[in-house]
Structure 1
Amino acid sequence: MSWFWVLFLFVILQRLAELLIARRNAACIRSLGGYEVGAEHYRYIVCLHIGFFLALLTEVYARGLEDAVPMSLPLAVFLVAQGLRVWVLSSLGRFWNTRIFVLPGSEPVRRGPYQFLRHPNYAVVALELLTLPLVFQAVYTALLFTLLNAFVLRVRIRAEERALCEATAYGEAMAEQPRFLPLRRK
């Protein structure tokens, strides 16, 4: 099995496991009185991620890159992103989800990477969408889906922050935290 298939299948299995975690966490938050917001744009996120995997597979095979030796720097960044992903999931616990769930009156999570950024999970996803294709020189997939993800995140982050500010102390607690990049404010 090539390195491409090892990483590709790893990420697919990771995403499937995350969907199970998300389903469990959604049930937990709903049982505590929480609710979902932003459902109308969630389908675009799903399409973006399915499209990403299809484009990656297509570009790698169309360009004959399936047996390419992984590029070291993008692979290293991708692996760091995997560690950050685990840190995000463990820090958010039951509040982590692929959808936006709000539990009114809950305290915003300020531990783990959330002490540095408001949205480290989205930063991790952005890193993955950029670096995984670059590991196998799939430059077109990396560029296209980085741009598409930025557009989708703009909508998603606004919806998430608006809902959290309305139902929790998120606005006050996270006002000084950079949103997406550690060195930028708001």
Structure 2
Amino acid sequence: MMLAATALLTFITFQRLGELVVAKRNTAMLLAKGGREIGAEHYPCMVALHSAWIGGLWLLAPDRPVKLVWLAIFLLLQIFRLWVLVTLKERWTTRIIVLPGAPLVCSGPYRFMRHPNYAVVAGEIAVLPLAFGMPLYAAAFTILNALMLAIRIRAENAALKTAMILK
């Protein structure tokens, strides 16, 4: 079972690192097209939170068995994560970038909720530690993420409102 835990941690680590590469490319492209970043002041805190979450899992979880029910839920979340990425295409980034004149994305999971990416991430932050049998870790990071998302979603909603006014 140690192999399963290590494989899962390796997957999430490389997934997040790969997403940072894609996000950096998309951010540069959006800024080159006249996009403006909103909420840059809280971005380092968000990166620190996610880094601490993954780092803590690497410290505490590699020798733990993986609970299959939670693993299945985590894998389902990956399908939703992919749906978000495919829907946003080059507009997906880890930063809040407003591209004046660009229409809001209203397809894919955005037909059903305003911030599906944050819902997926919130689920992952809770579910992955639960897959390792770490409910207190899951609760602690869920609370920290909720506090971060309160700031982040407020900034993003303001940015989206501004973008609609600029249209």
Asked if TM exceeds 0.5, the reply is yes
Kindly indicate whether residue 81 of structure 2 is the aligned counterpart of residue 80 of structure 1: no
Could you tell me which residue of structure 2 aligns to residue 176 of structure 1? none
In the TM superposition, what is the alpha-carbon distance from 1:95 to its structure 2 partner? 1.1
Of 22-31 and 161-170, more deviation after overlay is shown by 161-170
Could you tell me which residue of structure 1 aligns to residue 150 of structure 2? 154
Deviations 1:105-152 (A, max 9, x none): 210001110000000000000010001111110222111100000000
Which protein is richer in helix relative to its size? 2
Which residue identity is paired with 1:138? M
Q: Quick one: distance in 1 between partners of 2:64 and 2:55? A: 18
Q: Quick one: distance in 2 between partners of 1:79 and 1:59? A: 21
Q: Is the 8 A contact 1:59 1:141 kept in 2?
A: no
Q: Quick one: distance in 2 between partners of 1:159 and 1:100? A: 8
In the TM superposition, what is the alpha-carbon distance from 1:169 to its structure 2 partner? 5.9
Kindly indicate whether residue 118 of structure 2 is the aligned counterpart of residue 142 of structure 1: no
Q: Which has the higher contact order (CA 8 A, sep 6+)?
A: 2
Could you tell me which residue of structure 1 aligns to residue 27 of structure 2? 26
SS at match of 1:101: strand
Aligned length, in residue pairs: 165
Q: Is the 8 A contact 1:107 1:169 kept in 2?
A: no
In the TM superposition, what is the alpha-carbon distance from 1:7 to its structure 2 partner? 0.4
Aligned pairs for 1:79-118 within 5 A: 79-118=75-114
- TM-score normalised per structure 1: 0.85
List, as ranges, runs of 4+ consecutive aligned residues in structure 1 with deviation greater than 4 Å. Answer: none
* Root-mean-square deviation (Å): 1.5
SS at match of 2:97: strand
Q: Which runs of 5+ in 2 are unaligned?
A: none
Which residue identity is paired with 1:31? A
Q: Quick one: distance in 2 between partners of 1:122 and 1:89? A: 12
- TM-score normalised per structure 2: 0.94
Match of 1:164 among 160, 163, 166: 160
Could you tell me which residue of structure 2 aligns to residue 59 of structure 1? 60
